[in-house]
Amino acid sequence: ETGVTQTPRHLVMGMTNKKSLKCEQHLGHNAMYWYKQSAKKPLELMFVYNFKEQTENNSVPSRFSPECPNSSHLFLHLHTLQPEDSALYLCASSQARGQGNTEAFFGQGTRLTVV
């Protein structure tokens, strides 16, 4: 069993659809993240949750809506996306401590294609 599991692995959706990405971590961590990775671009941090509270929204459009019901699960709800939102969406988790977070462990990602 992998430490961070993302589902689905691949998703194709129309611009008027609503879908959700799911992430689950089995590492006992208290911080979870969503990253976006587009072709030929660096990893872009989208959202950070520490102890289930959102601590960062990196100017992400409202068509992306995160949800963190507990420290083990993280969702990314998608609606009315644009073709330029097509990318690999990565979830990660880490342990938040006083001197910063420990190393982050990533899921395998969801390859999203918006048509």
Partner 1 sequence: GQQLNQSPQSMFIQEGEDVSMNCTSSSIFNTWLWYKQDPGEGPVLLIALYKAGELTSNGRLTAQFGITRKDSFLNISASIPSDVGIYFCAGNDLEYGNKLVFGAGTILRVKS
In the complex, the residues that contact partner 1 under the rule CB under 8 A are 4, 6, 33, 42-43, 45, 48, 56, 58, 88, 90, 92, 94, 99-109, 111
> 9 and 109 in contact (C-beta within 8 Å)?
yes
User: In whole angstroms, how close is the CB of 80 to partner 1 at the nearest point?
Assistant: 26
> 40 and 65 in contact (C-beta within 8 Å)?
no
User: In whole angstroms, how close is the CB of 106 to partner 1 at the nearest point?
Assistant: 4
Residue 106 has which token pair? Answer: 């990533």
User: Cα–Cα distance between 71 and 49 in angstroms, integer?
Assistant: 8
Nearer to partner 1, 75 or 105 (CB): 105
